[in-house]
Amino acid sequence: MAVTETERTAMRRALEIATSGPRGLNPQVGAVIVSPSGETLAEGWHRGAGTAHAEVDALSKLTADAARGATAVVTLEPCNHTGRTGPCAQALIDAGVTRVVYALDDPGAESSGGAERLRTAGIEVVSGEQAGAAHDLIADWLELQRLGRPHVTVKWAQSLDGRAAASDGTSQWITGPEARADVHRRRAAADAIVVGTGTVLADDPALTARDGDALHTRQPVPVVIGTRPTPPDATVHRHPHAPLFFATHDVTAVVAALGERGVQRVFVEGGPTLASAFIAEGLADSVLAYIAPVLLGGDRLALTDIGVATIGDARRLQVDEWIPLGADLLAVARPVATRVDSVSRSEGS
């Protein structure tokens, strides 16, 4: 079944308005209702968990029977389950829509199946229109569905001989300004930035994403893991977002809790102990190693115990990129084979 040029235009518009919705437990979705003559009747987008889904939001702007015979163009397969809201597929059926064009199949075990429900009701369904753009829009959410938890990036800076600090504990700065600017850009792309209480007590970091002296528009939520208390005058308390504190060393539980809050991308930027804990638990989906051309010696290693007792247990990585940053070098890597721990997540619909 061919997609018309009007429907292609409507899908581009649906992808555009989908970005009006927030990132979180639910994906960003846009919908456009098109009349049989090709006129745009209504637009809608999802405003977050517990609110109307995009299709229902669009239909709510129309009078009764105004969508009868119309086409619904949606960036994600209409859902087929009842959570905090009803099934969108049934809402489209009840509205009298006769054709649905959508970009991506819903990967959810509970929410998928809307296309089949529509077809059973006699509605013409076309899938895959501008699927690539739709995938890019909600790639982080799709990764959350695949992993059952947020995507975790573990970052550290090290000397050429693998040290994270000099013998006296000083580490500011191992890398140069270009590398540090790159870190801030990547912080801004994350939903949460995670450090341990040791880093907070030793360095008093702001945990903001900065562009020179200014803040990036988008800021990650600061997360502090550990049982030692954070001082009330710590700089992290002045972050644009209220920090989250987890009085535990169970990083798997913390990642699960962040996923339940709608966090999709976690940026781990603590010291060697925290980085090693995430790697040891198989939670590092990507690794960023910033390598400076300096030698420090001593025992302040960038990583500590990651559960490797013999060479056969080595955690092998595939380096996807080597990026020069001034005098430094960034290795962007991911595990060749990683253990994915499935963790429960709350219903977000």
Out of 122, 144, 166, pick the residue that ends a domain: 144
CB atoms within 10 A of CB 252: 16
Q: Is 58 annotated as a binding residue?
A: no
Q: Do both 42 and 111 map to the same domain? A: yes
Q: Do both 284 and 325 map to the same domain? A: yes
Question: What pTM did the predictor assign?
Answer: 0.77
Structural domains of the chain, count: 2
Q: Is 117 annotated as a binding residue?
A: no
Asked if residues 225 and 299 have their Cβ atoms less than 8 Å apart, the reply is no
Q: Do both 190 and 307 map to the same domain? A: yes
Q: Is 199 annotated as a binding residue?
A: yes
Asked if residues 153 and 338 have their Cβ atoms less than 8 Å apart, the reply is no
Q: Is 175 annotated as a binding residue?
A: no
Could you tell me the residue range of the domain that residue 187 belongs to? Answer: 148-335
**Residue of 7, 55, 77, 129 marked catalytic:** 55
346: in domain: no
343: in domain: no
Asked if residues 33 and 67 have their Cβ atoms less than 8 Å apart, the reply is yes
42: in domain: yes
Q: Is 269 annotated as a binding residue?
A: yes
Q: Do both 101 and 15 map to the same domain? A: yes
Active site (annotated) includes residue 55: yes
User: In this structure, what CATH number is given to the domain that contains residue 257?
Assistant: 3.40.430.10
Q: Do both 138 and 153 map to the same domain? A: no
293: in domain: yes
342: in domain: no
Q: Do both 185 and 329 map to the same domain? A: yes
Q: Is 187 annotated as a binding residue?
A: yes
Out of 128, 144, 160, pick the residue that ends a domain: 144
Q: Is 59 annotated as a binding residue?
A: no
pLDDT per residue of the chain (349 residues) written in tens, 0 to 9: 789 999 999 999 999 999 998 887 889 999 999 999 999 999 999 998 888 999 999 999 999 899 999 999 999 999 988 777 778 999 999 999 999 999 999 887 666 789 999 999 999 999 999 999 999 999 888 988 888 899 999 999 999 999 999 998 888 889 999 999 999 999 999 999 999 999 999 889 999 999 988 999 899 999 999 999 999 999 999 999 999 999 999 999 999 999 989 899 999 998 999 999 999 999 999 999 999 999 999 999 999 999 999 998 889 999 999 999 999 999 999 998 644 333 333 334 4
345: in domain: no
Q: Do both 168 and 111 map to the same domain? A: no
Write out the E strands in the chain: 30-34, 40-45, 71-76, 99-104, 124-127, 151-159, 192-196, 210-211, 214-215, 221-225, 244-246, 265-268, 286-292, 317-325, 328-335
Q: Is 296 annotated as a binding residue?
A: no
- Cα separation, 277 vs 283, in Å, equals 9
The CA distances from residue 91 to 56, 80, 346, in Å, are 7, 10, 24
Q: Do both 75 and 133 map to the same domain? A: yes
Q: Where are the alpha helices (DSSP H) in 281-348?
A: none
Q: Collect all residues with Cβ–Cβ distance below 8 Å to 348 and sequence separation of at least 6.
A: 24, 25, 26, 49, 83, 262
Per-residue pLDDT, 337: 66
Per-residue pLDDT, 111: 67
Q: Do both 188 and 119 map to the same domain? A: no
User: In this structure, what CATH number is given to the domain that contains residue 73?
Assistant: 3.40.140.10
DSSP track, 17-86: HHTTSPPSSS---EEEEE-TTS-EEEEEE--STTSPPHHHHHHTTS-TTTTTT-EEEEEEPPP-S-SSS-
Per-residue pLDDT, 109: 65
Q: Do both 72 and 201 map to the same domain? A: no
Q: Do both 86 and 158 map to the same domain? A: no
Torsion of CA 191, 193, 197, 203, to 10 degrees: -150
Q: Collect all residues with Cβ–Cβ distance below 8 Å to 275 and sequence separation of at least 6.
A: 154, 155, 156, 268, 302, 303
Q: Is 159 annotated as a binding residue?
A: no
